[in-house]
Amino acid sequence: MKDGEFERMKDEARSRMSKMYSEAHPETEEEPAADPPRKGGGLLETLLEDKERAMLLALIILLMDENGSMDLILALIYLI
């Protein structure tokens, strides 16, 4: 095998490898997420994100502080 032929075969192998790689891994533009998910948020933070849930939580705390009806407190907890 001549040196020129060997170099040509190496070049062909590189071009085939490059073509196969590009077909296997197409370059696509990924759009970044608009709002990445938050990590480590606690239960209270999750409940306070929604105004209705925050109001229900305030009612539950108020009723528990005033020794309110346990049936009503449990019903409000169910709604959360």
Q: Describe the crossing of helices 51-65 and 70-79 by its angle, rounded to 10 degrees.
A: 160
Task: State the residue range of the domain holding 56.
Answer: 42-80
Q: CA-CA distance, 71 to 52, in Å (whole number)?
A: 20
Tens digit of pLDDT for each residue in 29-55? 555 556 555 555 676 677 677 788 888
> What is the count of structural domains for the chain?
1
Residue 18 lies in a domain: no
Tens digit of pLDDT for each residue in 54-79? 888 888 889 889 888 888 888 888 88
Q: CA-CA distance, 23 to 17, in Å (whole number)?
A: 10
Residue 2 lies in a domain: no
Residue 80 lies in a domain: yes
